[in-house]
């Protein structure tokens, strides 16, 4: 392959030449209407404080950038040669084959034309592949150029940093790369609520953890609480709340719980009312959306108890929010303000800041849609569940907005537990399921779910985003069921700071607290729990997803503040759960989600 020197003249000349050529062939694919926009300045190289800059018209950027990659290494080729290379690059990008793209953008060319002092090496090649694959995953050609920055590549190579460790499987990078515009369930402002429980005696708790010291304000209008307290990076901050705060009457109340901090924090809520216990991860307001689907659970015992109500709550954060509720119910009628509502009926309400709306029903409300004119928070669960005909326990989760749902899941079998899981489909979907022995494809209709009982390890791949909930109780007890939102692979993070708590009203022994870690098998050696290698696993299992081997690891923990990270920043999923003889709780430790710019 012939190599050419690149300079500023070449960049501008090649772009000018391509503008005419591509508009006659490759740009014929661009059928969207165009409009005048400001040109975009893209830095190519920054060596010694003298950046090279190309000014590009963003109205046709999406197509031109793909060809612009080629101009980093080409000069004035003959027309036939130019078209040939253009077709290779365009075809490679169209197929989203980043391996072929890296092969065409050879290391030798980058060495000779861009960074003469960078040595060709396998780690460097892997880092280049990782950068390009991560960027292509976002379908943003502009960001591709920004991230293939020579200075960044040079720095990473000289430091010897390993980005993807000892694995060379393409799918793992595509599956776990964190997208641009990403945020986490760590924030400074939170709105949340607590749903009604059958138990009435005990307390509600907030637990707050942070990586830095600061202060937080807690405001609960229904009780008159408005207080400020300090948060330390070395401790779990807990705050006890009266059960009067629970959303416990149909309709509108003023029962929001508001937390505002001057440092980024994670917030967890737990209900300890009699033996009725469960916990949830609170989402910061940046993650809130306008569209939700209720994900609940109802399984009654032969006693036909009236306490196993499916329920949900809505928390308003704006001055005025119009909300439409489209019911999905497996049976029965809901009476609200002298009006009867059945399946597919619509209820419209308006809430102002700090107001909440609560409904419960004897039949499962899963699949009910909530659409709001501005972002809201939504809680969903079961007043008292009767999983596998055991005694009841409270279930509650803060629901992820529809825009943040995932597609690919590793469904773990939790240690010393019997679990069900449900796949909730917002729209009609086809899901590939695999349980280490067979592949089965299932179809789920819009606003319906598929439930698996007492399952073993599963992988799920859905054609559209879905939500997956776990419903678990101990293998040797009937009492301690809990509900936990399962993070998809797209939700994985590379580090978590979280609490393990024990404020059960009744300290019935035995008590155990666990972590379930879902991680690519090659990366588990890089896990560090409280700055130490994990040496004692309670259980491990493996499953394959898209040719990548994943491990599900269980670790038993003590009560207190903990932190876990992967040394090479490989994302993984984390679920925290604990139980005593009569009660149990579980929640995801955190999420990584895409935020619209």
| Residues 95 and 214 placed together within one structural domain of the fold | no
Residue 50 has pLDDT above 60, yes or no: no
Edge-to-edge order in the sheet of strand 527-529: 495-500, 560-566, 527-529, 532-533
Query: Which of 335-361 are b and which e, b meaning 16 or more Cβ less than 10 Å from the residue's Cβ?
Result: eeeeeebeeeeebebebebbbbbbbbb
Mean pLDDT of 60-78: 46
Q: What letter does residue 503 receive in the DSSP assignment?
A: -
Note whether 466 and 333 are same-domain residues: yes
Nearest to 287 by CA among 596, 69, 574, 507: 596
Residue 332 has pLDDT above 70, yes or no: yes
Q: Which residues contact 61 (CB under 8 A, 6 or more apart)?
A: 40, 141, 142
- 267 and 371, same domain (yes or no): yes
Spatial distance between the Cα atoms of 140 and 135, rounded to a whole number of angstroms? 7
Q: What is the pLDDT of residues 508-523, one digit of tens each?
A: 665 889 999 999 999 9
- Assess if residue 171 is contained within a domain: no
**Does residue 406 sit within a domain?**
yes
User: Distance between CA 347 and CA 327 in Å, rounded?
Assistant: 8
Residues 408 and 545: beta-carbon distance below 8 Å: yes
**What pairing do the DSSP bridges indicate for beta strands 310-316 and 356-361?**
antiparallel
pLDDT, position 180: 37
Q: How many domains does the chain have?
A: 2
Confidence of residue 502 (pLDDT cuts 50, 70, 90): confident
HSE-CB of 134 using CA atoms within 13 angstroms: 19
Across the range 456-466, mean pLDDT stands at 95
Instruction: Looking at the structure, tell me whether residues 581 and 454 fall in a common domain.
Output: yes
- Do the Cβ atoms of 512 and 502 come closer than 8 Å? no
- Same domain membership, residue 374 and residue 237: yes
Write out the H or E segment, with its range, that includes residue 22.
helix 8-24
**Pick from 273, 270, 196, 283: nearest CA to 239:** 270
Task: Show the domain range for 84.
Answer: 8-163
Question: Quick one: pLDDT at residue 61?
Answer: 46
Among 191-195, 272-276, 304-308, which is the least confidently predicted range? Answer: 304-308
Residues 128 and 230 in one domain: no
If asked whether residues 207 and 74 sit together in one domain, one would say no
Report yes or no on 177 lying in a domain.
Answer: no
β-strand pairing of 225-231 with 214-220:
antiparallel
Average pLDDT on 398-405 reads 96
Q: Is the pLDDT of residue 19 over 60?
A: no
Residue 75: pLDDT over 60: no
Structural domain includes residue 175 = no
The answer, yes or no, to whether residue 568 has pLDDT greater than 80, is: yes
Assess whether pLDDT exceeds 80 at residue 467: yes
Judge whether residue 326 has pLDDT over 90: yes
| H helical segments located in 440-590 | none
Q: 471 in a domain, yes or no? A: yes
Residue 12 in tokens: 């501008």
159, 187: one domain: no
Name the phi and psi angles at 535, rounded to 5: -110, -15
Give 227-273 as a 3 state SS string: EEEEECCCCCEEEEECHHHCECCCEEECCCEEEEEEEEEEEEEEEEE
pLDDT at 199: 66
17: its two tokens: 């030449």
500 inside domain: yes
Question: DSSP letter at 332?
Answer: S
Lowest mean pLDDT among 17-31, 308-322, 436-450, 546-560: 17-31
Question: Do residues 515 and 577 both lie within one domain?
Answer: yes
Same domain, 475 and 529: yes
Winning range, highest mean pLDDT, from 30-44, 290-304, 573-587: 573-587
| 297 within some domain | yes
Both 155 and 190 in one domain: the answer is no
Residues 88-147: tens digit of each pLDDT: 545 544 444 444 444 444 444 444 443 333 333 344 445 555 554 554 444 444 334 334
The answer as to whether 169 is a domain residue is: no
- Average pLDDT over the chain reads 76
387 & 435 share domain: yes
pLDDT computed for residue 571 by the predictor: 96
To the question of pTM greater than 0.85 for the whole model, the response is no
């Amino acid at each position: 392959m012939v190599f050419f020197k690149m300079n500023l003249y070449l960049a501008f000349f090649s772009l000018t030449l391509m503008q005419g050529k591509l508009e006659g062939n490759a740009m014929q694919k661009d059928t969207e209407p165009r409009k005048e926009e400001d040109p975009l300045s893209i830095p190519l190289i920054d060596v010694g404080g003298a950046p090279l800059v190309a000014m590009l018209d963003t109205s046709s950027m999406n197509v031109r950038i793909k060809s612009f990659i080629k101009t980093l290494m080409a000069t004035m080729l003959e027309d036939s040669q130019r078209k040939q290379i253009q077709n290779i690059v365009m075809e490679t990008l169209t197929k989203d084959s980043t391996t072929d793209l890296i092969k065409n953008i050879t290391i030798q060319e980058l060495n000779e034309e861009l960074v003469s002092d960078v040595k060709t090496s396998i780690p460097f090649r892997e880092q280049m592949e990782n950068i390009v694959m991560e960027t292509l995953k976002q379908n943003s050609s502009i960001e591709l150029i920004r991230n293939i920055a020579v200075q960044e590549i040079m720095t990473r190579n000289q430091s010897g940093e390993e980005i993807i460790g000892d694995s060379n499987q393409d799918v793992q990078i595509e599956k776990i790369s964190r997208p641009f515009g990403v945020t986490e369930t760590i924030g400074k402002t939170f709105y949340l609520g607590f749903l009604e429980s059958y138990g009435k005696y005990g307390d509600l708790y907030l637990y707050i953890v942070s990586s830095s010291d600061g202060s937080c304000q807690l405001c609960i209008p229904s009780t008159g609480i408005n207080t400020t307290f300090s948060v330390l990076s070395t401790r779990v901050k807990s705050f006890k709340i009266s059960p009067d705060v629970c959303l416990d009457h149909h309709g509108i109340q003023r029962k929001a719980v508001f937390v505002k901090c001057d440092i980024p924090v994670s917030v967890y809520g737990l209900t300890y009312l009699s033996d009725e216990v469960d916990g949830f991860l609170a989402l910061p307001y940046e993650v809130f959306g306008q569209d939700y689907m209720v994900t609940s659970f109802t399984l009654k015992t032969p006693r036909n108890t009236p306490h196993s109500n499916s329920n949900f709550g809505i928390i308003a954060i704006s001055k005025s929010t119009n909300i439409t509720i489209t019911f999905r119910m497996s049976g029965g009628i809901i009476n609200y303000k002298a009006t009867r509502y059945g399946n597919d009926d619509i209820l419209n309400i308006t809430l102002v800041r700090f107001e909440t709306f609560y409904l419960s029903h004897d039949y499962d409300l899963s699949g009910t849609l909530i659409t709001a004119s501005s972002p809201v928070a939504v809680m969903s669960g079961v007043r008292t569940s009767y999983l596998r005909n055991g005694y009841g326990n409270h279930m509650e989760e803060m629901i992820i907005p529809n825009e943040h749902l995932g597609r690919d899941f590793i469904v773990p079998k939790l240690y010393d537990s019997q679990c069900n899981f449900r796949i909730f489909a917002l729209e009609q979907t086809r899901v590939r399921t695999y349980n280490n022995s067979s592949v089965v494809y299932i179809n789920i209709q819009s606003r319906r779910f598929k439930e698996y009982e007492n399952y073993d390890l599963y992988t799920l791949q859905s054609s559209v985003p879905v939500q997956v909930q776990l419903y678990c109780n101990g293998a040797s007890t009937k009492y301690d069921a809990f509900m936990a939102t399962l993070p998809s692979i797209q939700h994985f993070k590379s580090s978590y700071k979280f609490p393990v708590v024990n404020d059960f009203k009744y300290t019935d022994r035995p008590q155990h607290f666990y972590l379930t870690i879902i991680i690519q098998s090659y990366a588990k050696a890089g896990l560090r729990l409280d700055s130490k290698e994990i040496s004692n696993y309670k259980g491990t299992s493996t499953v394959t997803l898209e040719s990548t081997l994943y491990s599900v690891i269980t670790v038993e923990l003590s009560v207190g503040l903990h932190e876990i990270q992967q040394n090479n920043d490989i994302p993984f999923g984390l679920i925290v759960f604990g139980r005593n003889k009569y009660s149990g709780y579980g929640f995801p430790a955190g999420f990584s989600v895409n935020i619209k710019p």
